[in-house]
Amino acid sequence: MELYRSHVLVCGGTGCSSSGSAKLIERFEDQLKEKGLDKEVKVVRTGCFGLCEAGPVVIVYPEGTFYSRVKVEDVDEIVSEHLLKGRKVQHLVYVDHKTHESSVQKSLSEIGFYKQQERVALRNCGVIDPENIDEYIAFDGYRALAKALTEMTPEQVIQEVLDSGLRGRGGAGFPTGKKWQFARASKAEHKYFVCNADEGDPGAFMDRSLLEGDPHAILEAMAIGGYAIGADEGWIYVRAEYPIAVKRLEKAIEQAHEYGLLGKNIFGTDFSFDIHIRLGAGAFVCGEETALMASIEGKRGEPRPKPPFPAVKGLFESPTNINNVETLGNIAQIILKGADWFKSIGIPTSTGTKVFALGGKINNTGLVEVPMGVKLRTIIEDIGGGIPNGKKFKAVQTGGPSGGCIPASLLDISVDYDSLTSVGAMMGSGGMIVMDEDNCMVDIARFFLDFTVDESCGKCTPCRIGTRRMLEILERITQGKGEEGDIEKLETLAENIKSSALCGLGQTAPNPVLSTIKFFRDEYEAHIKEKRCPAHHCQALLNYEITDACRGCTACARKCPVNAISGTVKQKHVIDTQKCIKCGNCMATCKFGAIIKK
Amino acid sequence: MPDNKEKYAKLQAAIEKHKGERGAVMPVLQEAMTIFGYVPQDVQEMIADGLGVTLSEVYGVSTFYSQFSLEPKGEHIIGVCLGTACYVKGSQKILDKLSEELKIEPGRTTADGLFSLNATRCLGACGLAPVMMIGEEVYGRLTPDQVPGILDKYRTAQ
């Protein structure tokens, strides 16, 4: 391996790629060549750094200087100042939202966003070049596989995972070691080990980042798992919407084959293992394991009743084990460092760490990994940096369309499987969407039901028809046509669907409605009884009014498509609420902030 | 058309490549989407014949997954993310603005065949919310008033 005096790490995750990080890399390489530094400084495209808000992100090592929102035209300055003359480019260095401190003198781990994080699954993301197997190997890659194959029996591998207390990171939290035990116990000629990378929860992108940032870690874990349960073939079912992840997985599989880390007689043992990729085609329900297997088999992705469980009869009728991407991201570390080390992180019932995708109304949007049992407040306020624009925090939604909303009064809750479930939310795959006072909770419930109705596969009646009835009621309420008794109707429907739907999608679909009713019943009541949306979000329930701040400039009257605004020049104008169609054009036009929503 | 002949030859090659593979219907349909941009009935018939499965099976799969389209799409496919993070940051307003500008409902294609407008699932770029994609290009941190300018870029490129 060649040695360089400096490394320029450019984030190649989805967020930063979308804001042009590929062009940055090109420019860096051109500039370095021009200055004759290309033998001294290496440019590396890494996986996600996590702090998407600051993207595109560039880190220069050995100093660990963190440059944020870098533009192509900034590259020349970084090269000529920092890399050539050794002077950090002060005005491009990341500034903490909360403390307004520049991170010029700080290393990465001292920045507020990173300080309270602990990276296990994401340990290599943003550190190595994901398309280079040598870099993965240099960071202990494939050592766990070697250890498992040459020093441990399959039973010992399973015992280690069982002892670690690792639970499924896809949402349900089933103990991973138990799953492996069941699959091991099934006797069959062929068994399959499947990686569920059909990350469908809106607002969740941890699996995507892990696949893009450290694909070999997933391959290694699958091989270890295959050895443990006695499988000879692995499948990765990944969303077609993730082209970068697919490309890197394909490349990683090819490289692992070249090095003999996949294929026949791995490490000279009897164990042979191969991995195939299958692309999804846009169906949320395929994240459910039986639906996912049907989809790999090339059929409609419809779930089927369990039992038989996949461990007994799964893919192509053979015993199958299915694990989520992030779950697998922990395996190699558990084998290398042992169950006791893993258990030392987190709390006894939820061990290890969890990756969350922070999004919505929060300053530091991005990917965070924290020990289980951390307070929700720590994630929102310290790591997330609070709510932008001085707005008030209202709720955080976890678990996507299967989860629930947690209100401000419960911000001190411990983030672990059981605590989140106890308040009607759930861990889910790790999406964490923050909402402020402008978000209407009835509308959020409607949004999720709209999603479920669209994604319901239609096989069972409670989900196909029940969720549609719930959506109709919610639409009525948000349009100001809610009736007395609607809340109770929603609750009855919800309970019935939960207890009778065929798969997890239907059984959890009512959760967003139930949890918003539980914590924000007053908002539902305001919509139904007073025909008022407290968050001023639901268009049909809004009234626009012109205040005394009006200067009579006539701009709003000219912009109104239905001529509902009248008044003479330099006099306060008035909106005719009967004519008004509530399009909001006037409010957007007014330069004096004289139009308000009521 | 010679152009079409080439496309059908490509499809035939894709069928041959996956023939005999377990669960071949989906990968072949995915290749057909790349070749034709949609999967009309004759393409589905060809796949069914080629793989030795019934047409109803191919049709069943092609109508189940949102990625497969039975109708031709516009030259530029616009996808507005309606994932939760984008939704709470106002992506519905972006979609409404596009709908108004293009004079089509989401899910439809403009009469000149230039744009198709879709509301999509989470694109996983939540850090840039609200986000839309036109073809492969991602536009983040959008406001409704940026929409006309962005569309013009594609219109004048014609």
pLDDT in tens, B116-126: 999 988 887 88
Using the Cβ of B135 and the Cβ atoms of chain A, whether some distance falls under 8 Å is answered with no
Q: How far is A386 from chain B (nearest CA, A)?
A: 15
Cross-chain CB nearest to B67 (options A201, A208, A240): A240
Return the percentage of chain B with pLDDT > 90, whole number. Answer: 78
**Mean pLDDT within A442-468:** 96
pLDDT tens-digit readout, B41-95: 999 999 999 999 999 999 999 999 988 999 899 999 999 999 999 999 999 999 9
In the predicted model, is pLDDT for residue B2 greater than 60?
no
Cβ separation A284–B121 shorter than 8 A: yes
DSSP string, A258-311: HTTSSBSSGGGSS--BEEEEEE--S-GGGGSHHHHHHHHTTS------SSSPTT
**Mean pLDDT within A404-418:** 96
**Mean pLDDT within A488-495:** 97
Q: How far is B24 from chain A (nearest CA, A)?
A: 6
Contact assessment for residue A64 and residue A82, using Cβ atoms and an 8 Å cutoff: no
pTM above 0.90, yes or no: yes
Could you give the ipTM of this predicted complex?
Answer: 0.91
Mean pLDDT, rounded, of chain B: 92
Tokens of A546: 């012109």
End-to-end, the C-alpha distance of chain A in Å comes to 66
Residues 6+ apart with CB under 8 A from A137: none
In the predicted model, is pLDDT for residue B1 greater than 50?
no
pLDDT range class, residue B96, cuts 50, 70, 90: very high
Cβ separation A296–B23 shorter than 8 A: yes
**β-bridge partners, A277:** A236
pLDDT range class, residue A1, cuts 50, 70, 90: low
- A437 CB-contact burial (10 Å; exposed 0-12 / middle 13-18 / buried 19+): middle
**Mean pLDDT within A411-420:** 96
Residue A386 dihedral angles phi and psi, to the nearest 5°: 80, -170
Q: What 3-state DSSP class applies to B1?
A: coil
Q: Which residue of A has its CA nearest to B136?
A: A18
pLDDT range class, residue A292, cuts 50, 70, 90: very high
Q: Residue A529: enclosing H or E segment and its boundaries? A: helix A511-529
pLDDT tens-digit readout, A238-264: 998 888 899 999 999 999 999 999 999
Using the Cβ of B126 and the Cβ atoms of chain A, whether some distance falls under 8 Å is answered with yes
Residue B125: per-residue pLDDT: 83
Cross-chain CB nearest to A18 (options B61, B67, B140): B140
- Write out chain B residues lying below 8 Å of A396, CB-based: none
Using the Cβ of B128 and the Cβ atoms of chain A, whether some distance falls under 8 Å is answered with yes
Q: Measuring CA to CA, which residue among B12, B20, B9, B8 is closest to residue B53?
A: B20
Q: Are strands A6-11 and A274-279 parallel, antiparallel or unpaired?
A: unpaired
Number of C-alpha atoms within 13 angstroms, CB side, residue A423?
26
Q: Which residue of B has its CA nearest to A241?
A: B123
Secondary structure of A410-434 in HEC code, one letter for each residue: HCCCECCHHHHHHCCCCCCCCEEEE
Mean pLDDT, rounded, of chain A: 94
Q: What 3-state DSSP class applies to A393?
A: strand
Q: Which residue of B has its CA nearest to A201?
A: B122
Cβ separation A283–B29 shorter than 8 A: no
- Write out chain B residues lying below 8 Å of A431, CB-based: 84-85
pLDDT tens-digit readout, A4-42: 999 999 999 888 888 889 999 999 999 999 999 999 999
- Write out chain B residues lying below 8 Å of A208, CB-based: 124
Using the Cβ of B107 and the Cβ atoms of chain A, whether some distance falls under 8 Å is answered with no
Residues 6+ apart with CB under 8 A from B76: B114, B115, B116, B134, B135, B154
Residue A339: per-residue pLDDT: 98
Most confident of A237-246, A250-259, A564-573, B19-28: A250-259
Cα gap B152→B146, rounded to integer Å: 10
Residue A165: per-residue pLDDT: 97
- Write out chain B residues lying below 8 Å of A300, CB-based: 60-61, 64
Q: Which residue of B has its CA nearest to A212?
A: B124
- A286 CB-contact burial (10 Å; exposed 0-12 / middle 13-18 / buried 19+): buried
Q: What 3-state DSSP class applies to A514?
A: helix
Q: Which residue of A has its CA nearest to B26?
A: A298
Cβ separation B27–A279 shorter than 8 A: yes
In the predicted model, is pLDDT for residue A567 greater than 80?
yes
Residue of B26, B53, B81, B137 to mutate when probing chain A, most A C-beta within 10 A: B26
Which positions 52-71 of B are in contact with A (Cβ < 8 Å)?
Answer: 57, 60-61, 64-68
Cβ separation B88–A433 shorter than 8 A: yes
**Mean pLDDT within A420-425:** 92
Name which residue leads in pLDDT, B1 or B38: B38
Q: Measuring CA to CA, which residue among B59, B63, B154 is closest to residue B112?
A: B154
pLDDT range class, residue A566, cuts 50, 70, 90: very high
Residue B158: per-residue pLDDT: 65
Judged by average pLDDT, the poorest of B1-10, B29-38, B99-108 is: B1-10
Q: In chain A, what are the domains?
A: 6-115 (3.40.30.10), 133-342 (3.40.50.11540), 355-436 (3.10.20.600), 441-529 (1.20.1440.230), 542-597 (3.30.70.20)
Q: How far is B140 from chain A (nearest CA, A)?
A: 7
Q: What 3-state DSSP class applies to A396?
A: strand
Number of C-alpha atoms within 13 angstroms, CB side, residue A329?
30
